[in-house]
Amino acid sequence: MKLHEFQAKELFAKYSIPVQKGTVIENPQQLDGLSLHFPLVLKAQVLVGGRGKAGGIKLAKTPAEAKQHARAILGMQIKGETVKRLLVAEAAEIGAEYYLAFIVDRGAGRLVAIASAAGGIDIENVARTAPEKIAKVALDPFLGFQSFHARGLGGQIGLGGALLTDFVKIAAALYHLCTTEDAELVEINPLAVVGDRLLAIDAKVIIDDNAVFRHPDLPKNEELTELEQLARASGLSYVELDGEIAIIGNGAGLVMSTLDVVAHFGGRPANFLDVGGGATEENMAQAIDIVARKPGVRALFVNIFGGITRCDDIARGITASPPPVQMVVRLTGTNEEEGRKILQAAGIHAYLDPEEAAQRVVSLVRGR
Amino acid sequence: MSVLIDRHTRVLVQGITGYQGEFHTGRMLEFGSQVVAGVTPGKGGQRIHGVPVYHTVEEAVRETRANAACIFVPARGAKEAALEAISAHLDPVVIISEGMPVHDVLQVVEYARRSQVQVVGPNCPGVTSPGQCKIGIMPNHLFKPGPVGVVSRSGTLTYEIVAGLTSRGIGQTTAIGLGGDPVVGVSFTDALRMFQDDPQTKVVVLIGEIGGSAEEDAAAFVKDTMSKAVIGYIAGRTAPPGKRMGHAGAVITPSEGTAAAKIEALQRAGARVATLPGEVADLVRDVLGEVTQ
């Protein structure tokens, strides 16, 4: 779960990582009576990247200018995301810009600390064009991140004196935040020199979805659509896509593959929905209900390979919640015979071959 | 022959008294696995399907000489269960549990590395060596002994592809489900190395998906080291970037994880990559030079 910048900065403040003084507003009127010193920076709070280029970050020298920018940015669309909040902060006179992050390195199976003197720009670009400007250390979870790690990294990116002392403190705090809050990524870019101190100008935090149960106080996930949230609450894994054939299957790999097979035969999937291992009749009925609610869905393809999941449970779910659109079912595996009988009694044919079934659902939508 | 587990494997099930643990212990026994012990703290002294239950792994190992672990403990307790199994030097330690926090997984894989224990998973369907032993939840009837090694990040997609092999009369040495999380123990490369060294394995099927770069790493290994043929399939060609497709690890980031990059890497390494899951068995049959009836 990705946090908004202002949420990430609230965490930073909690862990004593210095950030600019600021506040969040939802309408321009809230600018009145803020006890912040001009100039101010107004930053669109969206989860997509590239907000600066899209005009979502503006500097205001006067209250009138701030109002004007706030009106322009609030409600703006940035890559399909509507701006609902603005972070208003005291603008800082920025010197050198650095980069600091802790990231779960999947390949290495370790948490990695990354620092660079080339801050303020996309670190992926730095990694590609000037890898020598990036300092890294892979961490042992039983040793943690010690101050010698931080001193080493800081030295490698050219920090010394009071700035290095600052960097060591901030890095230790950021590591503490990362492990305590179960983040899979924490990033400060830029970590800028302001006066004689380091300040976190931007903040990115992604919390591990699997660890949300340990953090009941975290803000709610805003990356999900309404239907995606509904699905999650029902224990279903659902992702909205922009096609017209709704897809339900069991197992993430099988469902991903089902989307590919449907696309291969010329269909456009409307969603990804994994009912999960051991799905019950109720799960299946809920799944059908959710995928059918999405506007533009013209057919449903159910692809089940029963393992822990029993075909008879799936069949009962289907008959309990018949979809409002045409449906093609492929059913095989555990309790296949019972499942087929239940569907047959309801007048539903169950395919055995997934590719044949995929072709059938595509032809239904194409009206052939 | 087989890899990771064989007829000498003596399985200890952690979380054996839970719904999944009890159910799958029954299926493992039906498969012919030697399930010799169960562990559920506080429930020692019970029997599940005739298998004695102990309070601790250490006690269970002392009494039963168990040498491998299968973990069904729910995510919030899975780290401790895995550390306990590794501490007792059970090998492999197969973690079926879904939803483990990644920082917990980092500790488990680090401790396993240090202890030279192989961890499979988490969030995986387990390991099956047909005719010898099964650890985990893969359906029993799909498998038959034969010359194909199977390694995958997905459960049901593996079943689909294994069923295709078996229906054409092509059996398997071992099928390994690596798990769908961003960080897992045994990797594609580790599995390929095991299959390369296993004399009975003639062909390897690698079933990957979007997210991370484990398939690309595996491709480099195929190119540099493998003499055996590899048939690939990658799920998620139509998955949009930035969305987690069911598995915690199945997400395309700006820097990595597309199906196209994985397919290209495998093809460049000399692997044949199927477009549809149904084509995998035919490619394997071609490589094995067998004729179906």
CA distance B42 to chain A (A): 24
Is pLDDT of B290 > 80?
no
DSSP A115-182: EES--SS-HHHHHHH-GGGEEEEEE-TTT---HHHHHHHHHHTT--HHHHHHHHHHHHHHHHHHHHTT
pLDDT at A368: 54
The domain defined by B10-120 folds into Rossmann fold (3.40.50)
CB of A35 within 8 Å of a chain B CB? The answer is: no
Nearest CA in chain B to A180: B103
How far, in Å, CA of A240 to CA of A232, rounded? 12
- The predicted complex's ipTM stands at 0.94
**CA nearest to A70, candidates A46, A87, A53:** A87
pLDDT at B289: 84
Average pLDDT of chain B? Answer: 96
B89 is catalytic: no
pLDDT at B127: 98
Name the burial class of residue A50, with classes exposed (0-12), middle (13-18) and buried (19+) by CB atoms within 10 angstroms of its CB: exposed
Which of the residues B176, B238, B279 would you substitute to probe the A interface, choosing the one with the greatest number of A C-beta atoms within 10 Å?
B238
Strand B93-95 and strand B119-120: pairing? parallel
CA B204 to chain centre: 14
pLDDT at A277: 79
CB of B239 within 8 Å of a chain A CB? The answer is: yes
CB of A335 within 8 Å of a chain B CB? The answer is: no
pLDDT at B61: 98
- Which member of B110, B139, B156 has the closest CB to residue A254? B156
CB of B159 within 8 Å of a chain A CB? The answer is: yes
Which of the residues B20, B27, B103, B153 would you substitute to probe the A interface, choosing the one with the greatest number of A C-beta atoms within 10 Å?
B103
How far, in Å, CA of B14 to CA of A360, rounded? 44
Interface of B with A in 166-205 (CB under 8 A): 180-184
Q: Do B244 and A209 touch (CB under 8 A)?
A: yes
**pLDDT over 90 percentage in chain B:** 95
**What is chain A's alpha carbon radius of gyration, rounded to the nearest angstrom?**
26
- Residues of chain B with Cβ-Cβ distance to A269 below 8 Å are 238
How far, in Å, CA of B236 to CA of A252, rounded? 10
pLDDT tens digits, one per residue of A300-339: 999 999 887 889 999 999 999 999 999 999 999 889 999 9
Average pLDDT of chain A? Answer: 94
Q: How many CB pairs under 8 A join A and B?
A: 169
Structure token pair of residue A347: 């007048």
Is pLDDT of B142 > 50?
yes
Is pLDDT of B244 > 80?
yes
Q: Do A253 and B137 touch (CB under 8 A)?
A: no
Let me know: does B90 contact B96? Beta carbons within 8 Å: no
- Residues of chain B with Cβ-Cβ distance to A127 below 8 Å are 255
In this structure, how many other beta carbons lie within 10 angstroms of the beta carbon of residue A246? 29
CA distance A318 to chain B (A): 20
Is pLDDT of A295 > 70?
yes
Let me know: does B101 contact B167? Beta carbons within 8 Å: no
Report how far apart, in Å, the C-alpha atoms of B62 and of each of A18, B54, B58, B121 are. Answer: 54, 11, 6, 25
Let me know: does A257 contact B237? Beta carbons within 8 Å: no
In this structure, how many other beta carbons lie within 10 angstroms of the beta carbon of residue A227? 17
Going by pLDDT thresholds of 50, 70 and 90, the confidence category of residue B292 is very low
pLDDT at A308: 79
pLDDT tens digits, one per residue of A257-276: 999 999 999 999 999 999 98
Let me know: does A55 contact A73? Beta carbons within 8 Å: yes
Report the first-to-last Cα separation within chain B, whole angstroms: 26
Nearest CA in chain A to B161: A254
**pLDDT over 90 percentage in chain A:** 85
Interface of A with B in 42-61 (CB under 8 A): 49
> Within 13 A of B189's CA, how many CA atoms are on the CB side?
15
Going by pLDDT thresholds of 50, 70 and 90, the confidence category of residue A225 is confident
CB of A252 within 8 Å of a chain B CB? The answer is: yes
pLDDT tens digits, one per residue of B60-115: 999 999 999 999 999 999 999 999 999 999 999 999 999 999 999 999 999 999 99
DSSP character at residue B255: S
- Which member of A49, A249, A252 has the closest CB to residue B247? A252
In this structure, how many other beta carbons lie within 10 angstroms of the beta carbon of residue B45? 8
CA distance B51 to chain A (A): 22
- Name the residue ranges covered by the structural domains of chain B: 10-120, 139-288
Sign for the CA dihedral angle at A28, A30, A32, A35 comes to negative
Question: Which range is most confident: A112-126, A224-238, B155-169?
Answer: B155-169
**Which domains does chain A show, CATH number per domain?**
21-90 (3.30.1490.20), 94-214 (3.30.470.20), 226-365 (3.40.50.261)
Is pLDDT of A104 > 80?
yes
Fill in the amino acid letter for A109: G
User: What value does the mean pLDDT take over residues B224-246?
Assistant: 95
- Evaluate whether B10-120 and B139-288 have a shared fold: yes
The domain defined by B139-288 folds into Rossmann fold (3.40.50)
- Choosing from B8, B89, B103, B247, the catalytic residue is B247
User: What value does the mean pLDDT take over residues A81-97?
Assistant: 95
> Which has the minimum average pLDDT: A82-86, A350-354, A363-367?
A363-367
pLDDT tens digits, one per residue of A179-212: 999 999 999 999 999 999 999 999 999 999 999 9
User: What value does the mean pLDDT take over residues B34-53?
Assistant: 97
CA distance A203 to chain B (A): 18
Is pLDDT of B254 > 90?
no
Interface of B with A in 249-288 (CB under 8 A): 249-250, 254-255, 259, 275-278
Going by pLDDT thresholds of 50, 70 and 90, the confidence category of residue A95 is very high
